[in-house]
Amino acid sequence: MIIPAFDIINHQVVRLYQGNYCKKTCYDIDLYNYLNEYHKKGVKIIHLVDLDGAQNSSKRQLQFFKDIISYKIISLQIGGGIRTEEDINTLLMLGAKRVVIGSVAIEKKNIVKKWLNTYGADSIVLALDVHVNKDNHKKIAINGWQKTTDISLEEILNFFSDTGLKHVLCTDISRDGTLSGPNIKLYQEICQNFNNIHFQASGGISTYHDISLLKNIGVKSIIIGRSLLEGQITIQEALKCWQNG
């Protein structure tokens, strides 16, 4: 599945380079029109990130997301600053299909395990950002990538395995926003070793060949942001490429 991604700051679509708020590109687009067009072309779900909320939970753009959801065009998975059960309840009650949980899945993993059991595996996506070193050790990064932990990706996936964990958005942070291509080796390994999980690949996707490679190694969804916004690939061709493998 192709999942277009939009990062939002102050109601505006932006992209950050390597997660850096100081390296921000703004896009003068009408998000409602984009969602409508994507829906017409066959997109099933959109990935939205509240970058204001991720940086400061008191600045979450709830009214904006409420307005987007009320438009009722297309299903949404929403992330950014989701740290409490109240946050999850709020977004699901607004009508989000899934909520995306990041750093708190590492910092409070036992609590997140309870959330998965409470809300079900279809309602929660774990966003796991990794730094892959030269020895192929996949260490989890948290707090907007400001801190690399000693916890491995495999350790976290194993920890949540008994919850029926289904959706994991995995990003190689060295590739995000770079259009340099995805880390094929990373996704190949995790798809083989955790074949019960539906992995969403994110970071660096910039060509139709990238899409074909990721689908063929078992990735269930591909998050595409900058390359769609900047016209490097089109949604029509991306969807066709996914369907044709």
Of the candidates 129, 172, 176, 210, the residue annotated as catalytic is: 129
Tokens of 168: 């994991």
Other Cβ atoms closer than 10 A to 179: 17
Rounded distance between C-alpha atoms, residue 245 and residue 243, angstroms: 6
Rounded distance between C-alpha atoms, residue 214 and residue 199, angstroms: 10
- The answer to whether 7 is a known catalytic residue is yes
| Active site residues per annotation | 7, 129
